């Protein structure tokens, strides 16, 4: 349940600035032999995720993007504000991860650059473990952009667009579970998981994701077709918000007990459509 709640809570983040990682540099990069890479670095519009064979994973969600010493400089969110320097190079991509104590005006400091290359066919096991998480990282940026506009219905439409694998304009439990598995991967990378721990986290997220997805569908599937539409996501939250008239007839009743069973549903819906 945690991974889906994490995915929905992330939608509370504000919109990022338009400037981002150059499109030519986005995607997956590898260090070492393509048949058995030592590390993978993924760049999206506003983030970078690094996964090594042995070392802890690292996630950079750039709060700012600038330049330093001939490199693009991305500064991550959070109290430590981690930094990543990157640029196109002869090998394909070159990055530097500066020491935390190095001042911006002295970058890159003593940190050594690392070369990365594209691989046409990364190992199947690597793609199986990381594919959905990488897709979720990119989808999350699109969700943040849409959900931060304040346009009625934009967030629900974006959720539908990013999650709708089948193209039927509905979200099935399997499609929601895919988002949850991707969120489990992202959370594990953010927490610095090793490759082994990352695999365990994604495996646990698979079961938790399908259970949470079924709960969410069952709670919002008003027409009973087993899938969620944008209209169902927006029910009581979209254009009809606060338009129920009520009536002065009758008298107040006792309210005790009405919250029973609502905690789990609230954790799923918190942050989904409301800012």
**Ordered per-residue pLDDT tens for the chain, 275 residues:** 455 444 444 443 444 445 799 999 999 999 999 999 999 999 999 999 999 988 999 999 999 999 999 999 999 987 889 999 999 998 899 999 999 999 989 999 999 999 999 999 888 999 999 999 999 999 999 988 988 887 878 888 999 999 999 999 999 999 999 988 898 899 999 999 998 888 888 887 777 778 888 988 998 999 999 999 999 988 887 777 777 877 788 777 665 554 544 444 454 445 544 54
Does one domain contain both 46 and 88? yes
Residue 86 within any structural domain of the chain:
yes
Please say whether the beta carbons of 80 and 97 come within 8 A. no
Residue 239 within any structural domain of the chain:
no
Does one domain contain both 172 and 230? yes
Please say whether the beta carbons of 25 and 93 come within 8 A. yes
Residue 63 within any structural domain of the chain:
yes
Residue 260: predicted pLDDT: 47
Does one domain contain both 141 and 98? no
Does one domain contain both 63 and 38? yes
Does one domain contain both 107 and 129? no
Residue 157 within any structural domain of the chain:
yes
Residue 177 within any structural domain of the chain:
yes
Domains contained in the chain, number: 2
Does one domain contain both 112 and 128? no
| Domain of residue 181, residue span | 124-234
Number of residues that this document lists for the chain: 275
Question: Residues 21, 22, 28, 31: is their CA dihedral positive or negative?
Answer: negative
Residue 274 within any structural domain of the chain:
no
Last residue of a domain, one of 116, 134, 167: 116
Last residue of a domain, one of 71, 100, 116: 116
Asked if omega into 225 is within 30° of 0 (cis), the reply is no
Residue 90 within any structural domain of the chain:
yes
The whole model's pTM is what?
A: 0.79
What tokens appear for 127 in the block? 């793609």
Does one domain contain both 109 and 129? no
Does one domain contain both 230 and 128? yes
Residue 266 within any structural domain of the chain:
no
């Amino acid at each position: 349940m945690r991974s889906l709640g994490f995915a929905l809570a992330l939608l509370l983040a504000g919109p990022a600035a338009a400037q981002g990682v150059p499109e030519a540099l986005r995607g997956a990069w590898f260090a070492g032999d393509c048949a058995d890479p030592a590390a993978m670095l993924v760049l999206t519009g506003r983030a970078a995720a690094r996964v090594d064979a042995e070392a802890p994973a690292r996630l950079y969600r750039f709060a700012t993007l600038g330049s330093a010493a001939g490199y693009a400089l991305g500064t991550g969110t959070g109290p430590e504000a981690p930094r990543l320097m990157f640029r196109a190079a002869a090998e394909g991509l070159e990055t530097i991860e500066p020491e935390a104590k190095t001042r911006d005006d002295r970058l890159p400091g003593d940190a050594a650059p690392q070369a990365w290359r594209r691989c046409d066919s990364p190992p199947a096991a690597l793609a199986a473990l990381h594919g959905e998480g990488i897709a979720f990282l990119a989808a999350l940026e699109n969700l943040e952009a849409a959900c931060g506009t304040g346009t009625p219905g934009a967030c629900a439409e974006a959720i539908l667009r990013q999650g709708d694998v089948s193209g039927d304009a509905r979200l099935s439990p399997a499609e929601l579970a895919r988002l949850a598995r991707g969120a489990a991967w992202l959370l594990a990378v953010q927490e610095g998981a090793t490759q082994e721990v990352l695999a365990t986290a994604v495996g646990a997220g698979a079961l938790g994701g399908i259970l949470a997805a079924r709960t969410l569908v069952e709670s919002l599937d008003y027409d009973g077709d087993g899938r969620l539409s944008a209209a169902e996501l927006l029910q009581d939250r979209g254009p009809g918000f606060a338009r129920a008239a009520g009536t002065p007839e009758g008298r107040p009743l006792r309210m005790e007990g009405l919250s029973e069973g609502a905690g789990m549903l609230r954790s799923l819906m918190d942050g989904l459509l409301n800012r």
